[in-house]
Amino acid sequence: MRTISFLLALLLVSLSVSGQETVSVKGRIINELGEAVEYVQVGIPELQIGTISTADGRFEITAPRDTLEFFHVSYQTGHYAVTGPADDVVVVLHENELTPAVFVAGDTKEKYLLRPGTKIAGNGGVLVFEPKAGNTKGVEIGSVAKTGKPFLVRDIQFGIWQNSIPDCVVSVNIYRIEGKNEEFVNVLQKPIYVNVAESEQPQEFHLQPEETILLEPGKYFISFQIVDCDEKALEEYLQVPESERDWSQMRLSTILYFKSSYTRKAAMGKMEHTPVNIGMVVKGLEYQ
């Protein structure tokens, strides 16, 4: 079966970007209490540069002398001006002050907000996340959903075909798509993280969000993204010459479906249209 693969080489850029000199920046990300903030997206969106911090808030990125942005669902976007090489940067993020969801009066009925679409049969039916250079983290893909009435999210479902990435953690996020320029605005107050076990067998996930997710009428993007894995195992894997690697040892794959979607190849990168998705399902209550 022919697979559709994403080259995940944009996470740690070691070459010059748009002719600019680049430098290495390392550091850690904490909140106002001094606690580490996990899985923060770090990068320069305009230049398509990005990576994701570790579970203990540490990050490393090669970037030009520009301004790094730090995005996390639960915090306000942080900034750091790159003026030269640095290996002890401390970035403090401040908590978001999102408006809590308010229930709408009226009757409700159970409904699907999102269905997977038509499964791609035969060749080309699998999406593979595999590290050919840099890292597995950062690629984001999902599906577009629309609602004409307030909708309460109760269940988010997705499937993994196979996974051989050790200690793999994925996140699920929901963005509201606004305006002609399709600005992606986060609607969650805290991340949804899922641990994906190593398995050669298919795995199905049903997520019941802890927070109240009430979507106002509009257009939304429900996304899937790898945010963590065993860094030591990945580093050892990438030290093996590419021609000698066993690709089955470090990859995650999902079944593909035909349905309008978006993807971006690196954290903080640009969302791009794609006609396929990984078959996510969202169910809940629609207010009448």
Residue pair 139/11 in contact (Cβ under 8 Å)? The answer is no
**In the predicted structure, residue 255 carries a pLDDT above the cut 70:** yes
Longest dimension (CA), the chain: 62
pLDDT per residue as tens digits for the range 10-37:
333 333 344 568 899 999 999 999 999 9
pLDDT per residue as tens digits for the range 154-171:
999 999 999 999 999 999
Of 46-50, 155-159, 214-218, the one with minimum mean pLDDT is: 46-50
Terminal alpha carbon distance of the chain: 45
Cβ atoms < 10 Å from Cβ of 2:
9
Q: Rounded to the nearest 5 degrees, what angle is found at the Cα of 234, between the Cα atoms of 238 and 125? A: 90
The rounded distance, in Å, linking the Cα atoms of 149 and 143 is 19
- Domains, the chain, ranges and CATH? 11-93 (2.60.40.10), 108-287 (2.60.120)
Using the 8-state DSSP alphabet, how is residue 41 labeled? E
pTM of the shown model: 0.85
Task: Average the pLDDT over 133-158 and give the result.
Answer: 86
